[in-house]
Amino acid sequence: MLACSLLATACGHGDSSQRGKASLAEATIISPDGTATGVTPFIAFVRVQGNYLDRLASVGFQIAPMPGTASRPVSVTYQMDYLKRRNYFAGGDTATVPVFGLYANYTNRVELKFVFNDQSEKLVSLDIATGPYVDAFNTFDRPDKRVARQPGTELGFDFFAMKSALAGPIVVDTDGYIRWAVQGPLDAIASGFVDKGFVIAAASTRTLRRLELDGTSSEGLLLSPDIAGAHHQIEKGKSGLLLGVYDKVGGIALDTGKVVEITPAGAILRQWDIGGIVGSYMAKNGDDPSAFVRPGADWLHANSAIYDSRDNSLTVSSRENFLLNLDYDSGEIRWIFGDPTKYWHKFASLRARAISLEDGLYPVGQHAPSVTADGLLMVFNNGAESFNQPPGEPAGEARKYSTVSAYAIDTASRTARQAWQFDYQQSIFSRICSSAYDVADKSVLVSYAVAEQGTRTRLVGLNAAHDVVFDFEYRNPSPNCPVSWNAVPVPFGQMDFR
């Protein structure tokens, strides 16, 4: 039987109550009625006309890949309740379909899929011609493809978002083409891909911004007058979103080591004062915390916090010291995992909670902790020594290369084993920022934020065997990781909006 993929072709496989009765797809006529350009060439709005639109269950689109590329198609489904809620369909014979993930400066072949309440389907194809994307930074649109992904190569993700301080989140496919961006500049350092959109928290104000993939945005506030702004990563928490925040102390914004969990609207659900937690624990166990917890000295430099539902814990990454694991509800310190040659290891109370590594490399200057698909604790292991220890105190090990390290941790015995690492033949050193995240099939996306002494950024895709599938190098206009301080896979290949 021929596939139902021709222009305006109906698939009559509905649940008609009588033999010979036409399905809704067969009875309707749907046609495109114009296309409007979005805020950037990667976004468009297709207006369609047709009868029986009020009997649609969903509308989807798929963008055909450019010939010779390896990334899978952008594929999206909108349930009709979503389109109604977003005012793209108000009843009647017209509707608007937001299409995102288009190639810029290209004639994109797009297939719209209409699914009716009787489960019959109609496909409509059209071409969407886009204009060029002007990259004001001469960076994102011209990667040096040191390793280009080859057609047919297996990889568990096809799109990723680079979190940039220059132009906001930039979504790129694994062939190196930009597939989504908004108008910049926009500082997206403290950001996360949450519920099919981006949440960005400003560093210098209490502003929260949400960017939808159709290019629209909304703003709110962090609802606490004591918070001056946000920094580093946004992650999903137990009930809301986790982020590190600056405290307002005497009218001055300070990084005191506070982590908060917020609702998407900015309301504070709970908070952890890491300095207070560590200080109280040290004092209770016989150490003077003032020698270690030094507000205003960037003694902690917390760059991420993640929730683990398996044991109801919060793991905080301190670049200066260690990975710190807390009970999510009580805040009690469960374990500490870090370089024992650093200053923190001088304190008996902290040593008492330390995880010993049986083999491999300790976390040193690490960023981007995560729990992998097979339950390991993975970090981007930068390898840089501490920058802000007291004068004369040990800064710890300093390596000349960075690794991605995954650990199996036995909390009962307080031991860890390095399950695997990827060090790219010890060829890249990225001393700050950076990230590594895996997907379900164990493929990994790595962002070397400040390679080649900060002059370059490298985005590397590894398959499940940790072979390099692609390696894109970008010019870094400054050494402080503005291009991709962190990068995450995003599921443009299979999205369902409800």
* pLDDT tens figures, 443-490: 999 999 999 999 999 999 999 999 999 999 999 998 899 999 999 999
pLDDT at position 473 is: 98
- The verdict on 243 and 381 lying in the same domain is yes
Q: How many other CB atoms are there within 10 angstroms of residue 300's CB atom? A: 27
Residue 4 is predicted with a pLDDT of: 42
Mean pLDDT across 171-200 = 93
The pLDDT, as a whole number, for residue 3 is 36
Which residue, of 102, 129, 156, is where some domain finishes? 129
CA-CA distance, 438 to 378, in Å (whole number)? 9
Whether residue 134 lies inside any domain: the answer is no
- Same-domain check for residues 304 and 191: yes
The CATH number covering residue 85 comes to 2.60.40.3100
Strands (DSSP E) found in 310-382: 313-318, 323-327, 333-337, 356-357, 367-371, 377-381
What's residue 122's pLDDT?
96
The beta strands (E) that lie in 64-148 are given as: 74-79, 94-100, 107-116, 121-129, 144-147
* Strand arrangement, sheet containing 227-236: 227-236, 241-249, 252-262, 268-273
Q: Is residue 480 part of a domain?
A: yes
Are 114 and 200 in a shared domain?
no
Is there a domain that residue 418 lies in? yes
Between 272 and 188, whose confidence is greater? 272
Q: Are residues 187 and 330 in the same domain?
A: yes
Write out pLDDT tens, residues 53-89.
999 999 999 999 999 999 999 999 999 999 999 999 9
Could you tell me where the DSSP H helices lie in 7-144?
24-27, 80-85
Question: 356: domain CATH number?
Answer: 2.120.10.30
pLDDT higher than 70, residue 17: no
Measured over the CA atoms of residue 411, residue 415, residue 418 and residue 419, the dihedral's sign is negative
Q: Which pLDDT band, with edges at 50, 70 and 90, does 239 fall under?
A: very high
Q: Which amino acid is at 472?
A: F
- Mean pLDDT over 39-63 rounds to 97
- In this structure, the answer to whether residues 82 and 151 fall within a common structural domain is no
Cα 430 to Cα 232, 250, 400, 463, distances in angstroms: 17, 35, 9, 21
Tens-digit pLDDT profile for residues 245-273: 988 776 667 777 899 999 988 999 999 99
Residue 190 gets which letter from DSSP? S
| Model confidence at 13: pLDDT above 60 | no
Q: Decide if 137 is inside a domain.
A: no
Last residue of a domain, one of 78, 95, 129: 129
**Considering the chain, what is the average pLDDT of its residues?**
93
Q: Which domain holds residue 33?
A: 9-129
Q: Can you give the pTM of this predicted structure?
A: 0.94
Higher pLDDT among residues 103 and 227, named by residue? 103
CA distance 117 to 79: 11
What is the token pair recorded at 5?
A: 């993929």
Structural tokens at position 258: 């506070």
Quick one: 95 and 217 in the same domain?
no
In total, the chain counts a number of residues equal to 498
Asked if 347 and 279 sit in the same domain, the reply is yes
% of the chain with per-residue pLDDT over 90: 86
d(CA 222, CA 212): 19
In a domain, 358, yes or no: yes
- Per-residue pLDDT tens for 309-354? 999 999 999 999 999 999 999 999 999 999 999 999 999 999 999 9
CB 211 within 8 A of CB 168: yes
User: Does residue 281 have a pLDDT over 50?
Assistant: yes
The count of domains in the chain is 2
- 255 and 207 both lie in a single domain: yes
Is residue 135 included in any domain, yes or no? no
Boundary-marking domain end, from 97, 129, 161: 129
Residue 466, both tokens: 């940790």
Same-domain status, 340 and 373: yes
| Residue 427 domain-assigned (yes or no) | yes
Question: Is residue 308 assigned to a domain?
Answer: yes
- State the pLDDT confidence band at 7, using cuts at 50, 70 and 90: very low
- For the chain, the 3-state helix, strand and coil shares in percent, each to the nearest 5, are 10, 45, 45
- My answer on whether 294 and 416 are in the same domain is yes
**Nearest residue to 98 (alpha-carbon basis) of 140, 43, 145:** 43
Q: Are residues 173 and 274 in the same domain?
A: yes
| Residues 175 and 294 occupy one common structural domain | yes
**Using CA atoms, how far apart are residues 63 and 128, in angstroms rounded to an integer?**
10
